[in-house]
Amino acid sequence: MLSYAGFVAGAPVVLTSLLMVFSPAVLAEVSSPDGESAASTLTSEVRLRRPDLTLTEAIERAMASNPALAAQRREVAARQGERVQAGLLPNPSLSMLLEDTRSATRTTTIQIDQRIELGGKRSARVDVAAGSVKAADADLAARTLVVRSEVAATFYAVLAGQERVALTDELVVLAGRALIAATKRVAAGKAAPLEASRAKIAEASARMEQNQAQSALAVQRRRLAATWAGSDDGFGRVTGQTVTGAVAMAWPQLLSRLDQAPQMLSARHALERSQSAVVLERAKRTPDLTVSLGNIRAEEVGRNQALIGLSIEIPLFDRNQGNILAATQRAGMAADEVDALRAKLQADLFEAYQQLLVAQQSATTLEADVVPAALSAFRAAVIGFELGKFSFLDVLDAQRSLSQARSRHIETLTEISRAVAQIERVLGPQGSAAPSVH
């Protein structure tokens, strides 16, 4: 469909080739400008010595070094430890009692007490911990999708930023040539001084746009590096194409995948954990049994006596009714949160779907109609200039219109990439390709 390979990836080449449309007389009249920004040239040379970066490499860096993912992995490990702890039996307790301090009449009691959990408390506790682990795993999957989508969106922003810088660089070149040409025409008496003033304003505006594009690109590069906690961008150019549609999916197909989205799975696991917590609190109504075994040594009579005991709490006042009520309400709250999350994700997904549809339609219109029309107008302005019907500023205006149309095309492709990244943020990639919709 639409990609940088056509109107976008070859932006500098296209604009350079357009300069060849001018006749030799025009090129003789319009000499090269003094030069581009020294800072821009130096920055470009430094980045050329760094390796290029692909989207796959950027995602791999983020998966390996993103601090948020590292923190969530630790949370998964912590909850796995809680699951192990939940399945352990209560420890026995050892006690010793001395009666009388005189050795001849002393009585020594040594006993071991073991609490036995009744009512299925341990299995219920394990179920709660297991649900917590599942929720943490789903949270990690959801966080992974968030990071992937952030990397993809920022990567495509850098890719578009590179093309915008290339466009503004070419615009500065042409504006500089227009200024030189206008100055010469005014000096030769072929044009009014107003033409030189207009050319000077156009050249200054072009340099301002160039500086803004370079600054925006630097910001996006740093944001991309931040996804893997990089203190510096540490890479040259990013290379690739925009996402323009891999697997066609209609809205019902996208919606059918929503229930399997990691965020939904996390919410449902949290609900299951809350329901298991209700079972655990109900199990706590059953009192535990404590078994005691020991020995009593009576020195006065020189005899050992076995000690066997049973004890159990009488649930007369506290039947854990308050905790049961709290756990039941939290389970209901978790169910409500599942419904609320599904409604939110559905709204987010539909918004991204609509943005993708509009961006695809806009990109098609720009590629099929707007950019070709701007190119045709630019060529007509060049021919008119050669025939003496237009001034060089008319040519510059036509070229600026072409650059604006192509810049809008770049932005539209970026909007497509952002919309697809948002869909992936909710649903995850479909297979090995990002989803697209028609």
| Exposed e or buried b per residue across 270-285, where buried means at least 16 C-beta atoms within 10 angstroms of its C-beta | bbbbbbbbbbbbbbbe
Give the relative orientation of helices 392-427 and 11-19 as an angle to the nearest 10 degrees: 170
- For the chain, what is the mean pLDDT? 82
Give percent above pLDDT 70 in the chain: 84
- In this structure, the strands spanning 247-249 and 435-437 are parallel
End-to-end CA distance of the chain: 12
Return the pLDDT at 414: 86
pLDDT band at 272 (very low <50, low <70, confident <90, very high): very high
How far CA 49 is from CA of 70, 71, 105, 207, 252, in Å, comes to 31, 34, 92, 26, 48
Considering only CA atoms, which of 77, 199, 152 is closest in space to residue 423? 152
- The least confident of 10-19, 220-229, 265-274, 336-345 is 10-19
Rounded to whole angstroms, how far apart are CA atoms 3 and 322?
A: 62
User: Which residue's structure tokens are 């990690």?
Assistant: 140
In the chain, helix, strand, coil percent, each to 5?
Answer: 70, 10, 20
Rounded to whole angstroms, how far apart are CA atoms 284 and 278?
A: 10
Return the pLDDT at 433: 38
pLDDT band at 211 (very low <50, low <70, confident <90, very high): very high
CA 281 to chain centre: 38
- The least confident of 269-278, 321-330, 335-344, 419-428 is 419-428
Beta bridge pairs of residue 297:
108, 304
Please give the domain boundaries of the chain with CATH numbers for all domains.
Answer: 4-437 (1.20.1600.10)
Rounded to whole angstroms, how far apart are CA atoms 328 and 309?
A: 36
149, 308 contact by CB (below 8 A): no
Rounded to whole angstroms, how far apart are CA atoms 396 and 425?
A: 42
- What sign results for the dihedral spanned by CA atoms 224, 3, 351, 345? negative
Tokens at 180, concatenated = 């030189």
Return the pLDDT at 382: 77
181, 30 contact by CB (below 8 A): yes
Rounded to whole angstroms, how far apart are CA atoms 435 and 112?
A: 64
Return the pLDDT at 114: 95
Rounded to whole angstroms, how far apart are CA atoms 282 and 120?
A: 10
For residue 313, give the DSSP letter.
Answer: -
pLDDT at 437 over 60: no
pLDDT at 434 over 60: no
The arrangement of strands across the sheet holding 107-116 comes to 93-99, 107-116, 289-298, 303-312
Q: pLDDT tens digit string along 376-388? A: 988 888 788 767 6
Rounded to whole angstroms, how far apart are CA atoms 4 and 55?
A: 15
pLDDT at 361 over 50: yes
- The least confident of 9-13, 105-109, 261-265 is 9-13
Rounded to whole angstroms, how far apart are CA atoms 326 and 321?
A: 9
Indicate the residue type of 44: S
Give percent above pLDDT 90 in the chain: 38
Residue-by-residue DSSP string for 55-103: HHHHHHHHHHH-HHHHHHHHHHHHHHHHHHHHTPPPPPEEEEEEE-SST
Beta bridge pairs of residue 430:
433
Q: pLDDT tens digit string along 118-170? A: 999 999 999 999 999 999 998 998 899 889 988 988 998 898 899 889 888 88
Per the model's pLDDT, the better-predicted residue between 167 and 429 turns out to be 167
Q: pLDDT tens digit string along 83-124? A: 999 999 999 999 999 988 788 888 999 999 999 999 999 999
- What sign results for the dihedral spanned by CA atoms 362, 368, 369, 370? positive
pLDDT band at 44 (very low <50, low <70, confident <90, very high): low
9, 239 contact by CB (below 8 A): no
256, 426 contact by CB (below 8 A): no
| Exposed e or buried b per residue across 74-100, where buried means at least 16 C-beta atoms within 10 angstroms of its C-beta | ebbeebbeebeebeeeeeeeeeeeeee
pLDDT band at 81 (very low <50, low <70, confident <90, very high): very high
Considering only CA atoms, which of 195, 153, 160, 154 is closest in space to residue 178? 195
Question: Hey, which of 28-32, 232-236, 293-297 has the most confident mean pLDDT?
Answer: 293-297
- In this structure, the strands spanning 93-99 and 303-312 are unpaired
